[in-house]
Every structure is written in structure tokens, then in C-alpha cells.
Chain A
Amino acid sequence: MKFTSVFDIIGPVMIGPSSSHTAGAARIGRVARDLFGRQPKWAKIHLYGSFAETYRGHGTDVAIIGGLLDYDTYDERIKTAFEGAEKAGLSFEFIPEEAHKDHPNTTRIVMGDDEGEMSVEGISIGGGKIEISEVNGFKLRLTGGMPAILVVHDDRAGCIANVANCLAMHNVNIGHMEVSRIERGLTALMVIEVDQNIEDKVLQQISLIPYITKVSKINN
């Protein structure tokens, strides 16, 4: 089931004009910010397919920037997000791409600040619903509809068990989990969907586990 809630159909409440191009874009921007863990100082936003062709008229540009500024789909400030970015010290660039992706509404947001960089690819699948399809080169499927944590780690035995144990100790129930790696024995990524928002102290504990290099979360 791609769509699970009636509010995926009757909703979201949003600023017009397009659920795919405006609301979905805002959500991708916001999830990207969540994964980065803070507001980036700069962002290069690559646009593919229909996003690339029509982003200005649909307000896709202001919506993604609004998302990076932590605005929700119904936040009236989306309309003036460029001014908001200037005030918040976020510089950005839009790069329409010729290349084709699997889905016509795809964006790859490369963002960073003095402390780090991150690349997040998201697709807007219709009705304001999104999926995160890639993080830092790792393929994944993440809807943003459930709280989730992403754990980047060295590909070593025991890593997954240690993270799962840590979650169990804090009574966090895992709903869905995926592990992917670019190459065996190097870096791997755990995507763990959970039933409730994760407290920062849990994230901090996970980050102290051996071989864990980065932990980020999406709240819901």
C-alpha cells in the first residue's frame, strides 16, 4: 500500500497550486533538513523531469526552500521563502537537469554548512506524498510519514544488533528496517522506521556505539 491514511487523499492542507510540485516539494525540503539535523547554510537543488520543466510556475522553488527553513505545507511564509532564506543566511541555487529519473518529479538536494555536507534525493509521488529515494548515495525508500532514524556506520558484524539493543533499552519499537551498503565491508546505512518520535538522548547514545559515524532522524 503506497497510501495508508485517508488524509493522504483528503489532504494535506496546503498552499497552492500543486500537491506534487508545491506541497510534496516542501515536504522533501523539510525531511532533507531533518536528516541534515539543522538548517544548512547552502543548498544546491537539482531538479529532474516535470520538476525541472515547471518549477517556477508551481512555486516548487519557494516550497523546497520553505521546507529547508522548516515550514510546513500550509505555512503562508512559503510564498516569501526566498526572503526568509536571506534572513536566515541560507544561500541556494536551482539546477534544472536534462537527465531522466525513474519518477518524473524528482529532486536531489545537496546541502551543507561549515561542519558537513549531505545529499538527499526525494520524489513526489502525488497528492503531497513523498518518498526519500537516496541519502548520500545510498538507495532507500522512506516516506517521511513515520518517525525514522538513519544510521551511517562501518559495515561490521554486530553494528545492527547494537543499535537494535539500544532502541529496545529505550522501549522503542521498530516498524520497518532496511540496511544498504555501497560496497561490502565499507560504509553502510540503516534506515529504521519507528512507532514514536525519538528523543535526542537516544540518538546520542546510538552515536556512541562503536563504528557508528552519523545518526539523523525524522520526526513526525
Chain B
Amino acid sequence: MDVLFHNVRELVERAEQEEKLISEIMIEQEILITGRTREDVIQQMDRNLTVMEEAVERGLQGVQSVTGLTGGDAVLLQNYIAQGHSLSGDLLLDAVSKAVATNEVNAAMGTICATPTAGSAGVVPGTLFAVKNKLNPTREQMIRYLFTSGAFGFVVANNASISGAAGGCQAEVGSAAGMAAAAIVEMAGGSPQQCAEAFAITLKNMLGLVCDPVAGLVEVPCVKRNAMGAANSLVAADMALAGVSSRIPCDEVIGAMYRIGQSMSPNLKETARGGLAATPTGKAISKAILENGGLQSIKAMQ
């Protein structure tokens, strides 16, 4: 199958040569591959955007997962921001809270849009709805944000992996954070090359991240990793917009991520046999949830 780009280098080159946005190249490729109309493709992304918006709103009202392991932290963060004394800055914390909101809804078996997966679904919408308050984008620009994210995710999915079971959490939340960073740069008016730099800087700093979910559930540490993924992407986007570049080119960072994932022990790839899942508390939580009828038994022990 003929595609417009196989890697980030080709993606950026094409955007530069044709003087188009990364998002535009992604839209054109989608039309080319699927044979659908432009209107149809844009409309589907518009619907995905609406799902994301509803998930953020629902999470900010407070949700609780079935197990009781996660929920309510997005509300705590919003209350803290409202007090006006945040150290890391309101926009960054707003992105963090909205990423958490989405993942709390996900853990509660609510409706979300995977970006690129469900476990990493918070970063892209979290950053988008925070940056929105600063940049005041049009609806079309918000939809473009998702196409730009998708373009980078497309490269990772086809050249490395976006699955925690195959590549560790670096492949899930690491990819999501890189995707968000690139999209923030485009929305803020940066160049296609700066989008690639932002992606590379973000993913470099999430390399080696293991997938070690307690009890195998998409809750601990997934929700907080989305929070930090969102923070990572905002900082990397600012660095790229400031003119900082990655010494290791974006495609090589993606290649490194793939090989790290390959050499990672299966214990650290979503099996819940290593990392945080294998800590005494992780194991106790797992036992309580999977065998002894819920978290109440742990609370009773304490």
C-alpha cells in the first residue's frame, strides 16, 4: 500500500516541501488510503473530539472506578488550581487534571476515545483542553490537533509499538505524550520540524518506562502516568518552540524505544508480575481485588 510517509523524516519533508501543516498531510493520507471524502474524515474526527470533551467534563465532576482504586483526583487538582497558589503553573496543572479526568472515566468503564490506547487516553485531550484556554483555537484547529497527534502515532504504531503488552508503558503513554507535544507545537504556530523535535524530546524522556499495572488493571500507576505524560509534553513543546532541538533524530528515538521494548522483561510488559504490581502493597491490592472481594478487605486490615 502506498502511503505519503513511513517515518517522521518523510512526514516533515513532505509538509515543508508542500508548505502544509502536519495535520494536513495526515488528512490527505487518510483520504488516499480509505477513499473516503474529506468531509467524512473530518466529521469522524469531530465526533471523536466530542467524546473526548465529554469524558473530560465527566471526570472533572468526579468519578470512581469499580474497584475504588482510582477516582476523584481530577477534582482535587481543580480545587487546588482554584486556590491560585500552584507552583508549576495553572495551564500545566489544568492539563494534568484533565488528563487524570479522562483516565478516571476510563478506569470507571466510561466512554473514551483511545489516543493511541485507552490506558494512555488522557494525555492528548488533557493537553488539548488546557491549551485551548490559552490559544483560543477554532473547532477546525482542535480537530487538526488530533490529526497531528495521529500522524506521529501512525509512525510509532507502524515502526515500533503503541501496546504496553508489546513495548511497555513507554509505547503507550510515551507515544501519547510525544503525539500531544507535536500537536501543541503545531497549534502554537511552530514549524513541522519543531513538531518532530517536541515529539523526540518527549519520548526520549519516557524511554524505558515499564508497564506494571497493579492487579493488571488500567488504574495504578496508569492514571498518574498520564498526568506526568501531559506535563512532559507541555514542557517539551515549549522547549521545541524555544528552538531547542533533539540531538538524536525523532525516528531514531522511535527505533530506540522499539528496541528497548523488545529487550524488556515480559514481567514489565503488562503482565502485572513486576515493578509496582510486584511491590508488597501492589500484591496486597491485587489479592484483595481479585480474590477477596474488594478493597474494603485491605482497609479492614489497616
Residues in B with CB closer than 8 Å to A23 are 114, 118
Residues in B with CB closer than 8 Å to A58 are 216-218
Check B150 for interface membership: any CB of A closer than 8 A: yes
Smallest CB–CB gap between A155 and chain B, Å?
30
- State A23–B48 Cα separation when bound (angstroms): 15
Residues in B with CB closer than 8 Å to A57 are 67, 215-217, 289-290
Closest 10 CB pairs of A and B: A54-B216, A126-B163, A16-B106, A9-B153, A17-B218, A6-B150, A57-B217, A19-B118, A3-B157, A19-B117
Check A107 for interface membership: any CB of B closer than 8 A: no
Smallest CB–CB gap between B255 and chain A, Å?
16
Interface residues of B (CB under 8 A from A): 1, 3, 26, 29-30, 33-34, 41, 44-45, 47-48, 51, 65, 67, 105-119, 121, 124, 146-147, 149-151, 153-154, 157-158, 161-166, 171, 179, 213, 215-219, 266, 269-273, 289-290
Are B108 and A6 neighbours in the complex by a CB distance under 8 Å?
Answer: no
Most A CB within 10 A of own CB, among B213, B219, B270: B270
Q: What are 10 A-B residue pairs whose CB atoms fall within 8 Å in the complex?
A: A2-B157, A5-B34, A10-B116, A13-B112, A13-B113, A17-B109, A17-B217, A22-B118, A54-B271, A126-B163
| Range class of the A interface residue count | 35 or more
Closest residue on chain B to residue A73 by CB atoms? B114
Q: Helix, strand, loop or mixed for chain A's interface?
A: mixed
Smallest CB–CB gap between B1 and chain A, Å?
6
A residues 1-38 near B (Cβ < 8 Å) are 1-23
Contact among A3, A13, A50, A79 with B216 in the assembled complex (CB-CB below 8 Å)? A50
- State A77–B52 Cα separation when bound (angstroms): 20
- State A14–B119 Cα separation when bound (angstroms): 12
Are B105 and A2 neighbours in the complex by a CB distance under 8 Å?
Answer: no
Residues in A with CB closer than 8 Å to B147 are 6, 10
Are B163 and A125 neighbours in the complex by a CB distance under 8 Å?
Answer: yes
Are A128 and B111 neighbours in the complex by a CB distance under 8 Å?
Answer: no
Residues in A with CB closer than 8 Å to B3 are 1, 4
Are A10 and B153 neighbours in the complex by a CB distance under 8 Å?
Answer: yes
- State A72–B20 Cα separation when bound (angstroms): 36
Smallest CB–CB gap between B192 and chain A, Å?
17
Are A6 and B154 neighbours in the complex by a CB distance under 8 Å?
Answer: yes
- State A23–B30 Cα separation when bound (angstroms): 22
Residues in B with CB closer than 8 Å to A2 are 157-158
- State A205–B108 Cα separation when bound (angstroms): 47
Residues in A with CB closer than 8 Å to B149 are 9-10
Given contacts A9-B154, A104-B165, A127-B162, contact A17 B106 (CB under 8 A): yes
Smallest CB–CB gap between A149 and chain B, Å?
20
Given contacts A6-B30, A14-B112, A16-B110, contact A126 B161 (CB under 8 A): yes
Are A10 and B115 neighbours in the complex by a CB distance under 8 Å?
Answer: yes
Smallest CB–CB gap between A216 and chain B, Å?
24
Check A56 for interface membership: any CB of B closer than 8 A: yes
A residues 52-92 near B (Cβ < 8 Å) are 53-54, 56-59, 74, 76, 78-79
Residues in B with CB closer than 8 Å to A4 are 1, 3, 33-34
- State A128–B157 Cα separation when bound (angstroms): 12
- State A20–B167 Cα separation when bound (angstroms): 13
Smallest CB–CB gap between B71 and chain A, Å?
12
Smallest CB–CB gap between A65 and chain B, Å?
14
Contact among A12, A15, A19, A104 with B109 in the assembled complex (CB-CB below 8 Å)? A15
Closest residue on chain B to residue A175 by CB atoms? B1
Residues in A with CB closer than 8 Å to B171 are 126
